[in-house]
Structure formats: C-alpha cells, structure tokens
Amino acid sequence: MKVVYLDNNATTMVAPEVVEAMLPMFSDYYGNASSMHTFGGQVGSMLAKARESVAELIGAHPEEVVFTSCGTESDSTAFVAATESQPEKRHVITTKVEHSAVLALGHQLEAKGYDVTWLDVDEKGRLDMAQLADSMRKDTALVSIMYANNETGTIFPIPEIAQMVKERGILLHVDAVQATGKIPYDLSKLPIDYLAISGHKLHAPKGIGVLFVRRGARFRPFLRGGHQENGRRAGTENSPYIVGLGKACELARQYFDYEQQRVAELRDRLQAGLLAAIPDSIVNGDLEHRLPNTLSIAFKYVEGEAILLRLDRLGICASSGSACTSGSLEPSHVLRAMGVPFTYAHGSIRFSLSRYTTQEEVDYVIKEMPGIIAGLRAISPFRG
Ligand code: PLP
C-alpha cells in the first residue's frame, strides 16, 4: 500500500541529498574532529562547513551554532544556561501551548521553587502581548516562547516579543523547532539569546539538533565533560548527522520559496476541500499567521483517534489533537488552552505537509475523508 505521509510536524523524511552527504562520513571520514591528526582534521573542516550552512540559514555567526542531540536537549540547555547563570533570579515566563520539551522544564523549575508565569492564548492560539508585558519582572531569569506551534502551526510575533523582552534586559529563548526551514527568520536582526532547532523536522535525521547561543549571552553547559563545541556541549560530535544537517539547511534555503508557495497552496487546497465536503468542520489556529505546511482541522462529534485509525487503513499518516491520558481521550493542552469547544477538540486532526507532498496525495485525502467522517458520525456516542 502506498503511504501518504502527512505527518511532517512529527518528523520528516531524510532528503536523499542528505543521505548522500552523510554516507562517506561512516566509511571514509570517520575520524574524531577533535583529534590532532590530519584524518580527524578533515572531519573538523566538514563540521565547520556544516556549521556555516546552519548559520547562514538562520542569520547567525558560525560560532553561535552549538550542535546538540535534538530539540529537547537544545531547550534544556537554554534553560540551564539562563537559570544557572543567574541563580538570584527565580521567575520564568513561558506559554501554556509550548511543546512538552519546554512545559516539562517549567514544571521542573516550579518543583524547585521557581515562580513560573504560564501565558494564555486566545481562541486562535494568539498570545496576549499585554499579559507578557505585565508579567516581566526584575527577577525574571528567562522568557521562553515558541516560534510556531507544532499542533496548529500558529506563528507567534517573535520580532515584537524579542524587542519587548530585550528592552527589559531579560534573556529570551525561542523554540524554533517547527519554524526552522519552513519560514525565514534572521537572527542578525532579532535580539534572541537562545534558539532551538531540531534536524528531523527539516529533512535531516533524528538525533541532531542545534542551540543558537548569541555571542556574549550568559551560558552554562547542560552536558559537561570534554571541550567540544567550544566548551558548550561535551561529547564527541556526531559528525555524520552534523554534515547531514548542514546539507538539510542548504536545501531548506533552496526550497524556501517553494515551501512558502507550493506547500501552502497544497495545504490550502486540502483545507478548502475538507471544509467544503464535510459539514460541522472548523480550522484550529490563526489562519493569518500560520506555518505554510500545517492544517489542524476539527470535525464535530467524532474522535480524532478513530479518524486516524481509518486513515491509517488507507495508508494516510496524520496526527490527532488528543492524547490518551489515564485511559480517557483528552484534547491536547494546546486545544484546551485555546478553548476549542469539547465536541470539536476531540475530533481534531493535524495534517502536516512537506516539499515531497503531491497534489495527488492531497486529492486522495479530500476524496476519502467525507466517507470516514460520515461513517464515524453515524455511530458517534457524542451525537445527541
Ligand atoms: N519543540 C517543538 C515545538 C517540537 O515540535 C518538538 C518535536 O516535536 C520538540 C521541541 C522536540 O524536538 P526533538 O524531537 O528533536 O527532541
């Protein structure tokens, strides 16, 4: 059965060009980049090139790029850097709709006695900028706000946020795991201190990430040991994956226009096709500020998990906006924070496209979905 992969916010296919760039790293260039010999030195030069490629994508200096193992590690490192370097500051601000990689860090700080402000969002998933302004205090160690939401694709106004946070002299961390490679941003113009990236969301392999650390920003390492990454992240560099990420960033630059236009067109086609064919369906998130590849759509009176199972039988991969919590299906924390009505939140599905998605695949989903939803509604326990 052909797989129609529309779950690219969960993870992406490794681009063939990335695989090709990585393969010689396992067989021919397997030296340790920190070694004194020329064999290792060659690898060091390849890592330097990859670092430049990442830096170019995001408007950073190469020395501001720290390679990590994933987005989660990058987020954790930013929190350690900001809190351990300012132990006297015991307040942190984040949002209710962050990925669990950041939510967990907020909860961990609360358990340590920190005061954490969890910013609200409105029904479209937008932040209240006045609430952010009011929350910042003299003892705020860090503001951590995601660039774009993984479930709804809603993009937060990071340039405005960065300006507000900088004016108060507070450190800012941005989880840009979903934004990077999908929308352009330029760190040479944005006063952000730390920014997290994950390779597997932009067609590099799983297990490689980046933490951007602005030159001069306070820093404490999360992983301690050797002096790799200029003393900012101990552990022998994962050279094959770093080279792969460098290639993926180069491709992301090449595909930016395509992502903005063609992928967005396909997403809009999917959205319009589903809304037209299925009554009682709504789109979640901020339609004006949204990642070009993401569609979070809710169908009244059905369960997301049931939709996913039926899609799965047809080879269609998507995700639902609910998670199984202690035996019952709970709408995700993101949809709950947005106040999406219960009857819709339960039936939320996320389709996330990529540069490899075709119109034929989108049309296949548009053709199959109405029957799936009608069939489930006919047996729905939610319906009157
Ligand atoms: N932050 C966001 C917004 C994400 O979507 C994800 C992954 O889904 C992560 C962080 C975690 O990234 P990783 O899987 O590389 O640890």
Q: Is the pLDDT of residue 326 over 80?
A: no
Per-residue model confidence (pLDDT) at position 327 = 54
Among 95, 99, 203, 241, which residue has the most ligand 1 atoms within 8 Å of its CB, making it the best to mutate?
99
Q: How far is the CA of 198 from the centre of ligand 1 (A)?
A: 7
Nearest-CA residue for atom 9 of ligand 1: 71
Ligand 1 atom closest to Cα of residue 149: 3
Model pTM score? 0.97
Q: Is the pLDDT of residue 195 over 90?
A: yes
Residues with beta carbon inside 6 Å of ligand 1?
Answer: 70-72, 99, 101, 146, 150, 175, 177-178, 198, 200, 209
Per-residue model confidence (pLDDT) at position 133 = 98
Per-residue model confidence (pLDDT) at position 201 = 98
Q: Over the stretch 203-222, which tens digit does the pLDDT of each residue have?
A: 999 999 999 999 999 999 99
**Are residues 146 and 180 in contact, defined by beta-carbon separation less than 8 angstroms?**
no
Do 268 and 238 lie in one domain? The reply is no
| Residue 196 to residue 75: CA distance in whole angstroms | 6
321 or 262: which leads in pLDDT: 262
Among 9, 67, 70, 72, which residue has the most ligand 1 atoms within 8 Å of its CB, making it the best to mutate?
72
Q: Is the pLDDT of residue 322 over 80?
A: no
User: Looking at residues 87-91, what average pLDDT do you find?
Assistant: 98
Of 256, 280, 286, 281, nearest to 270 (Cα)? 281
Check 70, 249, 317, 324 and give the catalytic one.
324
**Are residues 368 and 325 in contact, defined by beta-carbon separation less than 8 angstroms?**
no
Mean pLDDT across the chain, nearest whole number? 96
Last residue within a domain, chosen from 230, 254, 278? 254
Nearest-CA residue for atom 8 of ligand 1: 10
Q: Tell me whether residue 247 is in a domain.
A: yes
What backbone phi and psi angles, to 5 degrees, belong to 38? Answer: -60, -35
Do 249 and 104 lie in one domain? The reply is yes
Ligand 1 atom closest to Cα of residue 101: 10
Strands in 115-119's sheet, in edge-to-edge order, are: 65-68, 209-213, 194-198, 171-175, 140-146, 91-95, 115-119
Do 327 and 216 lie in one domain? The reply is no
Do 47 and 167 lie in one domain? The reply is yes
Do 209 and 325 lie in one domain? The reply is no
SS3 per residue for 168-208: CCCEEEEECCCCCCCCCCCCCCCCCCEEEEEHHHCCCCCCC
Q: How far is the CA of 234 from the centre of ligand 1 (A)?
A: 21
Q: Tell me whether residue 6 is in a domain.
A: no
Do 358 and 215 lie in one domain? The reply is no
Report the CATH number that the domain containing residue 318 is assigned in CATH: 3.90.1150.10
Q: Which residues of 178-198 are buried (b: 16+ CB within 10 A; e: fewer)?
A: bbbbbbbbebeebebbbbbbb
What backbone phi and psi angles, to 5 degrees, belong to 157? Answer: -75, 75
Per-residue model confidence (pLDDT) at position 383 = 67
| Strand, coil or helix: 345 | helix
Q: How far is the CA of 332 from the centre of ligand 1 (A)?
A: 16
Of 119, 110, 118, 120, nearest to 90 (Cα)? 110
SS3 per residue for 232-279: CCCCCCCHHHHHHHHHHHHHHHHHHHHHHHHHHHHHHHHHHHHHHHCC
Per-residue model confidence (pLDDT) at position 260 = 85
Q: Tell me whether residue 242 is in a domain.
A: yes
Ligand 1 atom closest to Cα of residue 11: 8
**Are residues 9 and 150 in contact, defined by beta-carbon separation less than 8 angstroms?**
yes
Cα angle value 230/231/233 (rounded, 5°): 100
Q: How far is the CA of 74 from the centre of ligand 1 (A)?
A: 10
Ligand 1 atom closest to Cα of residue 70: 15
Q: How far is the CA of 32 from the centre of ligand 1 (A)?
A: 28
Do 33 and 149 lie in one domain? The reply is yes
Pairing of strands 171-175, 140-146: parallel
**Are residues 175 and 37 in contact, defined by beta-carbon separation less than 8 angstroms?**
no
**Are residues 249 and 67 in contact, defined by beta-carbon separation less than 8 angstroms?**
no
Per-residue model confidence (pLDDT) at position 258 = 85
Q: How far is the CA of 38 from the centre of ligand 1 (A)?
A: 36
What is the number of domains present in the chain? Answer: 2
The structure tokens listed for 113 are 């006695």
Last residue within a domain, chosen from 223, 254, 285? 254
Per-residue model confidence (pLDDT) at position 330 = 81
Do 155 and 97 lie in one domain? The reply is yes
Q: Over the stretch 342-351, which tens digit does the pLDDT of each residue have?
A: 889 999 999 9
Among 79, 177, 222, 293, which residue has the most ligand 1 atoms within 8 Å of its CB, making it the best to mutate?
177
Domain range for 195 is 16-254
Point out which residues pair with 331 in neighbouring strands: 322
Do 61 and 30 lie in one domain? The reply is yes
Q: Is the pLDDT of residue 324 over 60?
A: no
Q: Over the stretch 224-280, which tens digit does the pLDDT of each residue have?
A: 999 999 999 999 999 999 999 999 999 999 999 888 899 999 999 999 999 999 999
| Residue 41 to residue 26: CA distance in whole angstroms | 15
Among 155, 173, 195, 201, which residue has the most ligand 1 atoms within 8 Å of its CB, making it the best to mutate?
201
Per-residue model confidence (pLDDT) at position 54 = 98
Do 170 and 293 lie in one domain? The reply is no
User: Is 317 designated active site?
Assistant: no
Q: Tell me whether residue 167 is in a domain.
A: yes
| Residue 147 to residue 168: CA distance in whole angstroms | 20
Report the CATH number that the domain containing residue 130 is assigned in CATH: 3.40.640.10
C-alpha dihedral sign at 45, 49, 50, 54: positive
Do 56 and 160 lie in one domain? The reply is yes
Q: How far is the CA of 127 from the centre of ligand 1 (A)?
A: 20
